[in-house]
């Protein structure tokens, strides 16, 4: 592995909701917004905004990648098929969704360990270190070279990220 590859997301794999193992190298050359999601969260309506970003920019080389997570208030309790059905029928989601993962702690997915180390947030007492994901719908913007450019908290609405995405396209 080259030094450059070790600083990108391309060294990671993830399983889709259907169970297929995908290399993030498959997204090489695209601008990505990687998001930990949940179906029963106050921020769940952000799926609509994420899909709007996907629709607006996908033809220019942009993808949203959704990673369901049940670590925050048990707000993603469903099975893979429940998650897929909910996202498609409720919000018309067509961007890739991956299997439910942990984003913090000893069982955190390696991708999220990398993302949080590359772009730490704020340290908040009781919610963990600066690196820890604080809640559902934390978003990581990744450039075409696979490098983390910026982290956005849950309260940042997807439409507020559009200008940053456009600047990278």
For the annotated catalytic residues, the residue numbers are: 41
Alpha-carbon radius of gyration of the chain: 15
Closest Cα to residue 148, out of 107, 102, 117, 169? Answer: 117
DSSP 43: T
Contact 63, 9 (CB under 8 A): no
- SS3 state at 61: coil
DSSP 109: -
Contact 68, 86 (CB under 8 A): no
Closest Cα to residue 141, out of 113, 120, 161, 160? Answer: 161
Phi and psi at 23, nearest 5°, equal: -85, 135
């Amino acid at each position: 592995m080259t030094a450059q590859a070790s600083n990108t997301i391309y060294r990671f794999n993830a399983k889709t909701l259907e169970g297929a193992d995908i290399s993030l190298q498959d997204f090489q050359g695209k601008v990505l917004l990687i998001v930990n999601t949940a179906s029963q969260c106050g921020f769940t309506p952000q799926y609509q905004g994420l899909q709007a970003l996907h629709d607006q920019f996908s033809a220019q080389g942009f993808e949203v990648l959704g990673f369901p997570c049940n670590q925050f208030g048990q707000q993603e309790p469903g099975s893979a098929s429940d998650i897929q059905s909910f996202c498609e029928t409720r919000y018309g989601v067509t961007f890739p969704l991956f299997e439910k993962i942990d984003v913090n702690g000893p069982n955190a997915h390696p991708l999220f360990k990398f993302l949080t180390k590359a772009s730490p947030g704020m340290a908040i007492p009781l919610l963990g270190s600066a690196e820890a994901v604080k809640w559902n719908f934390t978003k990581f913007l990744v450039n075409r070279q696979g490098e983390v450019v910026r982290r956005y908290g849950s309260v940042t609405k997807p439409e507020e990220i559009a200008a940053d995405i456009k600047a990278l396209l």
